[in-house]
Structure 1
Amino acid sequence: MTAPLRSVTDHQAHVAALFGPARTVRVPIADALGRALAVDVAAAVSLPGFDNSAMDGYAVRATDITDASEEEPIRLPVAEDIPAGRTDSLTLAEGTVHRIMTGAPMPAGADAVVQVELTDGGDQTVAIHGTVAVGTAVRRAGSDIEAGDPALLTGTVIGSSQIGLLAALGVAEVEVTAPLHVVVLSTGSELIAPGNPLEHGQIYESNGAMLCAAVRSAGGEATLVHFVPDDVGQFRSRLDEMIDGPTAVDLILTSGGVSAGAYEVVKDALTGQGVDFLKVAMQPGMPQGSGRYTSATGTTVPIVTLPGNPVSAQVSFEIFVRPPLRSAMGLLAHRRRIQASLADDLRSPRGKRQFRRGVFTHAGGADGIGSVVPIGPPSSHHLRFLASANALIDIAADADDVPAGTTVEVILLD
């Protein structure tokens, strides 16, 4: 009796259950890029830390130049030069100015900065050709953030601007979610490394490079184990070697060797070893497996086995692995899903949820929802169409004929 197909939703839940809560690690801020902040960060200092000039010009008392004009400039002595980085405290005497550079500390008594373009640029005395209001071109201490205020909240993904803020606040290290380490194994005696000559019946190995890139794009760390041959003993030995190696492994990800035929090394090696193999009601990517594998030394690691056809492997990663992988690193789990108008007719196998490659454009019709054009046939070996796609069209399992103009759900890819 044929076992019923598992739904996509049920298999997503099975895979997600393999992942634990996010771990945290303290790292220098430069190494925090792309990670999620694990604790709130409060400002230890104010920004700016002192009143400073917003432009090159002259620090003045605004009342000293209330009558300045182009026709009758006011001339005042330049008592001090204040470059950025000067650390002594200065006081501006009435009837004088201090030449000041952008970012330099304002002298006590000054309440405005006259930009250099309103002057003749003098360094002993300066002719000022216009008036300014109190506060002009002055950056007040704490006007960006006050000491003690929250600067970044837990869950914030650290990008370049966040690193800039942390550095400006004097923060050297932060606590962030740790990246997960995924070991990617591609199986198949027919696989040859790119760059080497092919013999008849051999193909270049692509899944390993593709899945490692997918892991890294999702925020994880990936190690590729090349070209595991179709031998159960060698497969288990290689698996144990990686699990019990010096680097902790959070997930094993395999591709190939999970179908119903002969020489299915992954299925043969892992059946009865804590891994369930089944068929999921989807196209592409029907043969799947997931569970927990225990090495010969007793180390248990989650494992997800993906089909070997490249489109099936990549689509399966997108649907089953990427969301819980990112969630376990404290990152936003799901890609953006939107509604789009289908540009061409589609056929889908009833009873299977289909994920078709597509090109989404924002140029929509009267409803303004955008349009998606299906590209390539549904077969799982048409990798070039996947490489040209920026979206997956998610067709429900109860659909078969989907005419052009139908509103469909689209998963936007990178």
Structure 2
Amino acid sequence: MTASTLIDQPLHNPTPLLHSTVLSRKTQTNIWLKLENLQPSGSFKIRGLGHMCQKAALKHGSKTRLVSSSGGNAGLAVAYAARQLGIQATIIVPQTCNAFMIKKIKEEGAHVEMHGEAWDEADLRAKSVVADDPHAVYIPPFDHPDVWQGNSTMITELKAQLGGIVPDAIVCSVGGGGMMNGIILGCQSVGWDKVPLLTVETHGSNSFQQSVLAGELVTLPKITSIATTLGAKTPSAKSLELSLVHPVVPFAVSDAMAASACWQFLDDHRFAVEPSCGTALSIAYTPALLSNIFPNLNQDSNVVFIVCGGSNINFAQLTEFKEMFGAEGQQSSIAVRSGDQILLKMTTDATASSQKAILSTTYKPEPKAASVDSNNGETAIAENASK
């Protein structure tokens, strides 16, 4: 297949929808896994970024040079797209990007430049590179309508795969907001306007959650989470806008919970995913959370988890996480809260079987989630109990 023919057809693959027996039993509800980790670039990113790269190549021709910034997965998707389209790519990565991911991006044929401590600084550098090259096209990793449109295809696929079933909730990780925006726009296009979306971040990367609670865009001073590919210090303004018109539940979990979900998912489903993906999966591996956030779920309910994937993972990293957080993936003094209500407490000597809800409170998603006061018990938050 030639590069020219690839311009006319998607660069992403349709991905399987798996009913998880293990997680369904654990949560006492039907858990479905949308396996975006099986995309050719290793994550959902190729949907939106592949779509935008194709449009750029079609408009600007064979001399096009794609320039993007990324903590890893977006850069890998752009590099893959450029190779498939037969054009050049330059990826600007922050200093937090490890050698493992840089090697993967280079193997796709892209030029890699390291700049800045976090994605935001790398992104400014990418824009300056484009300004100096008439053939360069800036490809933002998440904040563009073309990216959201490409990402929305996972929902049109999902509707076809579920048949007549309308999910009772969808759960996804959120970093800059590109996947979240695509999911909501996709839901709107297929008539799932009332399907709540649980967006999950880690502490130290939860810029979207803090923005929702503040009712305006919040910029974190720095990213302090192991989920570095969630590391956008400021989320997309479109994400905040969509949270006003679609039921969105912003949630944050500990690094320990995200890491634990990664190796449990590997044991249960034989897939290795990175902490940015484990962030969402941690909700399924902590059943008390899911039932407290959505108290109306039962054995006939259906919850879809977007397994966003991510290539920034290997056995050595999983082993390091186990050593860092312990066999159960827990750390002391962790409390999960809804507003000022404690839902779940975990300590270093607690095990999964002994975790229990201390105080149950319900969450009912409202269209104006962004205007919710963080202390009224209606917005789900997870935070360190010592803070």
TM range (shorter): under 0.3
**Higher alpha-carbon Rg:** 1
TM-score by length of 2: 0.26
More helix by share: 2
More strand by share: 1
